[in-house]
Amino acid sequence: MAGINRLKNQHLLWRAGFGPTAEQSASLDDTNPKKLWKQLLEKSLGAPTKLNVVSGSFDDMLMGAKDMDGIKNLSGDQKKAIRQESVEDLKTLNLKWLDEMVSSDAQLREKMSLFWHGHFACRIINIYFQQELLDIVRSNALENFGDLLKAVSKSPAMLQFLNNQQNRKQHPNENFAREVMELFTLGRGNYTEDDVKEAARAFTGWSFDLTGQYVFRPHQHDDGMKTFLGETGAFDGDDILNILLKQQQAAKFITKKIYKFYVNDTVDDIHVAWLSERLYNNNYDIKKLLEDIFTSDWFYDEKNIGIQIKSPIVLMAGIRRFLPMQLDDEAGQLLIQHLLGQVLFYPPNVAGWPGGKSWIDSSTLMLRLRLPQIINANEAIDMLPKIDDDAMMGRSFDEEKTFKQNRAFATKLGSATIDWSNVIKIFKRASMDDLLQNISPVLFQTKSRVDETLVEKYCNTATKETYIETAVIELMSTPEYQLC
């Protein structure tokens, strides 16, 4: 039977990453959580390889326009072709990043990048801009929050999404300035409407070019005096961000959100106060904040283990990590993201995915419980995602066409070949009579356990190997497996 060491190590691997691989799982009874944390950190310290998926045809179409005015002068068919190619490339980027979450040793970096992907929520259909923003997030995920904030704020993706290209001297657009405070740094209620107006003036002139490069346009910038959060000067956008970082409220806001993502939706105010003070005094060093969390005794308290609902991306990546598989057509994973409510690069709004209990409703729970069996048995999915132009990756379809397309996706999704060798090795010493008692603690983080008699009814007992394979699929298809 698995012991407390395994429970703690699995807790760390699910929260700091996307769960254990079968190969890792074999040694988790004998590994110290602090030693495992050091391994996670060390493997995530290197700079990530940029995920570059822009197709040559998209490059040719876009570069043919030469500049922003050229884009405006393109025909409707030309614009449609660019948009469609960008949508296809975004799908490729989605799947490539999901593969990184599954296969990369840099689990800590990719999980933190997923957090920032929701924190700096951005939904635009421009592969250049989204690709650059993802590279900013992944490169800075474990570094300095101030550097990350400034890089994201100057990214064309965010400037376009929050309308700052419309923010000009004497004609300010307040959207960007407001969200920088409300969603990125301070939280609602910690600034005034005058602060929003003054910050918007400071961000005038922040723009970008066709290739996704930040451009400052001085003739559009309001260089007059401004008063922001009690300070007065001829501030520009960088000054505003620096003033925001000087506020201890910024450290509190970020820490609380990270605590809820990694530890518990129910916030422990004492722990968050201590963590946020440390983050502020450490000049917003993200690695040190995560170390404070993952090496603390309270992180491993019983109340924090097995109580978090896995997000759709975490669920999908976790299954693939434990059950390495060859997918004949990976595009079926896009349908699963649609159906479960978390499509990478398509957050529901500027606030990102709310998480927690919002991941579960009657339809999503049924699919979650069926997912391991669908993959293992090559089943099709008859469910239909909501018809939503954004949720459909930038394209709208009539209901009949949508149904046919998704049925095609479902057929492809079922073509998966699972490599069971490392899973079987974990339980090689267990007898047939003890297999379920050994498998359950490897898959579950919850104290509750399923009825073993019921599970055994669906297990193939022809050989030890078939027993293990069918038992794993059945246990993954339970409500307990939805929690980590």
What averages of pLDDT result for each successive group of 10 residues across the chain (484 residues)?
84 98 94 96 96 75 52 74 88 97 98 98 94 97 98 97 96 97 98 98 94 92 98 98 98 98 98 98 98 98 98 98 90 92 97 96 93 83 60 41 44 73 95 93 92 89 96 96 98
Q: Residue 391 falls within a domain, yes or no?
A: yes
Structure tokens at 165: 């290209």
Which tokens in the block code for residue 258?
A: 């990270």
Number of H helices, E strands in the chain: 24, 6
**What's the confidence (pLDDT) of residue 413?**
56
Q: Are 226 and 201 in contact (CB under 8 A)?
A: yes
Look at residues 132, 50, 124 and name the one whose alpha carbon lies nearest to residue 86.
124
Instruction: Give which of 102, 105, 86, 128 is closest to 43, Cα–Cα.
Output: 105
pLDDT digits (tens, 9 = 90+) for 387-414: 554 444 444 434 344 444 444 444 445 5
Residue with token string 């009579």: 433
**Residue pointed to by tokens 């190997």:** 465
Is residue 169 included in any domain, yes or no? no
pLDDT at 383: 67
pTM of the model: 0.93
Residue 408 lies in a domain: yes
386 located within any domain: yes
Asked if 14 and 318 touch (Cβ cutoff 8 Å), the reply is yes
- pLDDT score for 330: 84
Is residue 138 in a domain? no
184-233 pLDDT, tens digit per residue, is: 999 999 999 999 999 999 999 999 987 778 999 999 999 999 999 999 99
Assign 393 to helix, strand or coil: coil
CB distance 313 to 345 below 8 Å: no
User: What does the pLDDT read at residue 49?
Assistant: 96
Range of the domain at 358: 312-418
Query: Is 449 among the domain residues?
Result: no
Domains of the chain: total: 1
Residue 88, domain member (yes or no)? no
Whether residue 352 is contained in a domain is answered as yes
